[in-house]
Amino acid sequence: MNATWNPSAPGVLRLPSGRLIRGRGLRHPLPEGPAPDFALYLLGHQPPPVGWEARWLRWPDFRCPSDREEAAAALREVWERAAGERVEVACGGGRGRTGTALACVAVLDGVPPGGAVRYVREHYAARAVETLWQRRYVTRFGQPGQPAAGR
């Protein structure tokens, strides 16, 4: 595939490399336009089936991922696939877990871990990354001893 999102579509985050990823909340209706080619769903329970390729990462609301190594691999897959596919990252509301995941993907894209939350808040949603634990997860993502599968 070589299809990406419309950069001005709701919820689309442009990374410094130019990759586009759509973040959204699953409690909201599916946005108009093309469907994702691949999605990563961040929920405490398995999501319902969808008509595109999807991966589920166990990630309880207001917390960090249950398996950090699995999370690092999933976030790396998001970053890699966003180079030429429509990739979506979503949780229930589209802010806390989704914002945290997008900030980690921004780290993979070269944004310093200490500035990734600010980057996502400026370019995706002002209230992204909701908890102190989520902010700490992002700042530690990619540091020695922490799984991140960095570039």
- Mean pLDDT taken over the chain: 91
- What digits encode the pLDDT tens for the residues 73-82? 999 999 999 9
CB atoms within 10 A of CB 126: 9
Amino acid at 68: R
3-state secondary structure of 57: strand
Q: Could you tell me the domains of the chain?
A: 12-139 (3.90.190.10)
pLDDT at 63: 80
